[in-house]
């Protein structure tokens, strides 16, 4: 599963990196993103572009998001 850590990047870099990683994501694969806060604006873009996602808060205060193209 491809991993992407966008902690420590200023807006809009996390957003740009996630969208770039999704463009090269093989069909059926899931992208795992580690991000310091819940990216609500990203969800709207993911939904509009046909992705599904699950978000889980981690113990150290970050969030892990698993993003997959909707079948």
Partner 1 sequence: MKTASLSTEQAPPISVPLRFFAIAPLFLLLAAWILAWGDDLSNPHSPALLAATHCITLGFMALVMLGAVQQILPVVIGSPMPAQRWVAWFSFLPLIVGTLSLAGGFLLHEPALLNLACWLLGLAFLTFIAASLISLSRATAQNASKNALWLAISALTLAVTLGSLLAHGYANGLPLNYPQLALAHIALALGGWVTMLIVGVSFQVVPMFQLTPNYPKWLSAGLPPALCAALLLFLCSRLLESAPLGYLAEALFWLLAVSFATITLKLQSQRRRRVADATLSFFRLGMISLLLAALFSLLAPFSPELFKMSAVVTFILGFALSVIHGMLYKIIPFLIWFHLFRGGIKKGVPNMKEIIPEAWMWRHLWLHFLTLLAALMTLYWKAAVWLLATGLALQGILLCFAIVTAITVYRRTLTGMEK
Contacts to partner 1 by CB under 8 A = 8-12, 15, 36-38, 40-41, 43-48, 52-56, 61
Q: How far is the CB of 46 from partner 1 (least distance, A)?
A: 7
**Between 32 and 47, CB nearer to partner 1:** 47
**Between 3 and 13, CB nearer to partner 1:** 13
> Exposure pattern of 24-62 as b/e (b: 16+ CB <10 Å)?
ebeeeeebebbbeeebeebeeebeeeebebeeeeeeeeb
Q: How far is the CB of 27 from partner 1 (least distance, A)?
A: 19
Instruction: Give kind and range of the element (H or E) at residue 56.
Output: strand 51-57
Q: How far is the CB of 22 from partner 1 (least distance, A)?
A: 12
Quick one: tokens of 53?
């996602």
């Amino acid at each position: 599963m491809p991993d992407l850590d966008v902690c420590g990047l200023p807006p809009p870099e996390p957003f740009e990196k996630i969208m770039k990683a999704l463009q090269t994501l093989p069909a059926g694969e899931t992208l795992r993103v580690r991000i310091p806060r819940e990216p609500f604006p990203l969800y709207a873009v993911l939904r509009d572009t046909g992705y599904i996602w699950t978000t889980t808060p981690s113990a150290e205060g970050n969030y892990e998001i698993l993003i997959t193209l909707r079948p």
